[in-house]
Amino acid sequence: MTSIFVLVGCALGAVSALAAAPATLVTSANDSIPRPVYQDSGVEVTASRYGAQERLNVSNLTAADLARREPDQELPMLVQSLPGVFSYSDAGNGLGYTYLKVRGFDQRRVGVLVDGVPLNDPEDHQVWWVDLPDLAADVQDIQLQRGVSGSVGGMTAIGGTVDVVTTPPGRRPGTRVALDTGSYGFRRQMLAWDSGLLEGGWATAVRLSRQETDGYRERSGHEGWAVSWSGRRETARTVNQVNVKTGREVSRHAWDAVPESMLLVNRRANLETYHNAIDDFRQPHLQWHHTRKLGERLTLVSRLYHVRGDGFYENYRAGETAEGFGLDRPGGPAPDDELDLVRRKWVSKRHTGWVPSLTWEQGGGRLLVGGDAYTFRSEHWGEVLWAQGFAADAFTTPWRYHDYTGDKDAWSLYADQRWGLGAGLQATLNLQFQHKRYRFAQHEAGNFTGERLNSYTVVDEFFNPKAALDWTVPGAVAGGVLQVYANAGINHREPTDNELFDTWEGGDDLDADPLFGRSRELRDEEGNVTGVEWYDPLVRPERVEDLEFGFGWRGPALAWTLGGYWMDFEDEIVAYGGVNEDGSGIRGNAGRTRHRGLELTARMKLGERHELALAASRSWDEAVEFTFHDWDGSVYDYAGNPLALFPRHLALATWDGNWGEGLRSRVRLRSTGRQWLDNSGESDRTIEPWTTIDLSLWLDLREAGLVRGSEVTVFAHLRNAGNVEYETWGYWYGENYYTPAAGRNVAVGIDCGF
């Protein structure tokens, strides 16, 4: 199937020879606050993007915003300046393993695109930001679409879609150098070069980055390096661009939350104490983007991509049974004997896909048709490196104790029709069909043999319709522009590999069965059992119906939006409030759940040099029908209870000041509401609300008259100025377990452009 993608993609590329249609920043007569407007051609855009006048539940981080980013923070931490976004990190200081939520939905249910290519892992639906160190250094702008959205890349976006566009080569000619340092051993070095637009329409750019930190929490350090290269050619009618991103990350384990009783003694505590508890991973990304103007109104875009991931994590396990790791060898320990050991769990992934789209501009409307297809292959295996009671040389060749594969093939088709109905009214209809097939199989290793080998195949097909109305009220309303929108949509999401397996254990645990209703034994010609095939998954795909309504107003010095959403779920896959041995949250279906919320944004100019911005949301996330069966056989009715790990409110107030002579400042107040650690509704099983204040200063030395020619900017960031003690994530396991965030911390640096 991979060869078919490549052949079809090459055929599309061969019919054309290569033209740029770049994004532009415009200000209309009625819009004194500039907004980005994107044309539907070139690699700068993805088919999921909306223009400035189309959706009020869309927010943008512009190039100007990102120019004042905090380089000691991974990209999810930067995105939380947008409405409805909450981000956190395992290490507590914003580097290494980081995560984001939109409307409280974790990133498994948030679609992420980089230049129109899906970044979510097909198997676990996660977004592993840590595998792309310093990605934000390449980013031109980011668009967030809240709510069910996105037909691009076959993704299922429930909380929203984060659409990242990187800076094309040729846009920023010259060399850039950045040197940064800060609290908790943070250090970053970055070197970038851009050729500018060369003769014949050619351009190329390259970036090298290295970043490291000791982490806020004990033994939570992270080191990452990255190389990013892009080559591009533009002609009168076509654009071709190749992107290559590669690197390596090495992070110490800090994914386990800490008991509240321990945090009272040591805020920086980490339960992992093994000296070589590391995560070591590489994930090169290769993309080819091809855009062809077929006529005045027709544009063809084709994207081919390949992602290859390889790596492991290593840790110490105490009190494991010899049988579980295949160590009950003749003359060795008995199957039930407990021993300590060191294991290394490996994964190798190959993901190849094609994302085509065709845009037909129709005067007052537009038709967009497209789809995607991909193959995904993964192998997971574990090795014992050392075990108690065994000779030092017993594992000179690592002992493989488990081995399983996960293969996924998927395709989707969609059509998105927009009509201009006159008098400022616009209607949109989006129809999508998805087909997904996932095959899981355990293979012989250690004691995984015969009837202990499980396999299953799951096929899911979804139809996802969406419709919207957007109205720009004709004429001036109170001296500005008034917009109203309403939209409705249905989305589905299939369970991940972990969600289809035993609630508390996974495919690497001996005698753990998948969560399926029926099974049959597989036998060879001699009648020997060779495995067990499972049918009828007990964890079902989740389905959501989303209704949204809102309005907004833009005037000469003020712009605001107010919107609301109502999301009804069937079989939502919710957090149960605990974790498995790998630190992943355990999850399962809730019969019916409901998410409601209000979202407010406002931006006001305070004279010519200052601006005040506000982003706030309040949500009500609760179970409607939810019977929970605990591991000990207890049954609980959670109907009416708040759902775990959804913040009740999010608020961000930002004051940006321009003091002249190149000096700029930012004061940011961030508030996050209460989160429940499980679904019991117990008031003492929560993460307390918290509020922090951050301060930033930038000085452009050229504007200040201190240097000539080169662009030189120095900066200083002070985060959590009040040294507030707060937590960002957790679960309940006999007591409250929390992931703490950093106290008062600083970062300083210099960025030079030549």
Taking residue 295's Cβ as centre, other Cβ atoms within 10 Å add up to 9
- Tell me the CA distances in angstroms from 239 to 103, 153, 168, 245, 726, one per residue in order: 36, 20, 11, 20, 48
Strands 160-166 and 110-114: parallel
Global pTM reads 0.90
Beta-bridge partners for 272: none
- E strands within 253-297? 258-259, 278-282, 285-293
Q: How far apart are CA 146 and CA 128, in angstroms?
A: 21
HEC-encoded secondary structure of 493-520: ECCCCCCCCCCCCCCCCCCCCCCEEEEE
Task: Identify whether the C-beta of residue 205 lies closer than 8 Å to the C-beta of residue 194.
Answer: yes
Q: How far apart are CA 615 and CA 144, in angstroms?
A: 13
pLDDT computed for residue 398 by the predictor = 86
Q: Which of 18, 302, 360 is nearest to 152 (CA)?
A: 302
Tokens of 669: 């107040």
Q: How far apart are CA 601 and CA 646, in angstroms?
A: 20
How many structural domains compose the chain?
Answer: 1
Taking residue 633's Cβ as centre, other Cβ atoms within 10 Å add up to 6
Weakly modelled stretches of the chain, pLDDT under 70: 1-55, 150-154, 503, 577-586
Tens of pLDDT, residues 638-680: 999 999 999 999 999 999 999 999 999 999 999 999 999 999 9
Q: How far apart are CA 433 and CA 430, in angstroms?
A: 10
Tens of pLDDT, residues 81-92: 898 999 999 999
Residue type, 706: L
Q: Which of 189, 172, 170, 186 is nearest to 221 (CA)?
A: 186
Taking residue 335's Cβ as centre, other Cβ atoms within 10 Å add up to 11
pLDDT computed for residue 223 by the predictor = 98
Task: Identify whether the C-beta of residue 185 lies closer than 8 Å to the C-beta of residue 746.
Answer: no
Residues 297-300: contacts with CB within 8 Å, 24+ apart? 297/360, 297/361, 297/362, 298/358, 298/359, 298/360, 298/361, 299/40, 299/41, 299/358, 299/359, 300/12, 300/356, 300/357, 300/358
Beta-bridge partners for 77: none
Tokens of 595: 């998410």
Q: What is the DSSP string of 372-425?
A: EEEEEEEEEEEEEEEETTS-TTTTSS-EEEEEEEEEEEEEEEEEEEEEEEETTE
Task: Identify whether the C-beta of residue 38 lies closer than 8 Å to the C-beta of residue 60.
Answer: no
Strands 174-182 and 186-194: antiparallel
Q: What is the DSSP string of 305-340?
A: EEEEEEEEEEEEEEEEETGGGT---TTS--TT-EEE
pLDDT computed for residue 746 by the predictor = 98
DSSP designation for 82 = S
pLDDT computed for residue 506 by the predictor = 87
Q: How far apart are CA 730 and CA 686, in angstroms?
A: 9
Task: Identify whether the C-beta of residue 593 lies closer than 8 Å to the C-beta of residue 623.
Answer: yes
Task: Identify whether the C-beta of residue 130 lies closer than 8 Å to the C-beta of residue 249.
Answer: yes
Read off φ and ψ for residue 11, nearest 5 degrees: -65, -40
Q: Locate all alpha helices (DSSP H) within 428-506, ordered by sequence.
A: none
Look up the CATH number of the domain holding residue 303. 2.40.170.20
Q: Structural domain of residue 721, as residue ranges?
A: 2-753
Task: Identify whether the C-beta of residue 501 lies closer than 8 Å to the C-beta of residue 509.
Answer: no
pLDDT computed for residue 290 by the predictor = 98
pLDDT computed for residue 171 by the predictor = 79
Strands 285-293 and 238-252: antiparallel
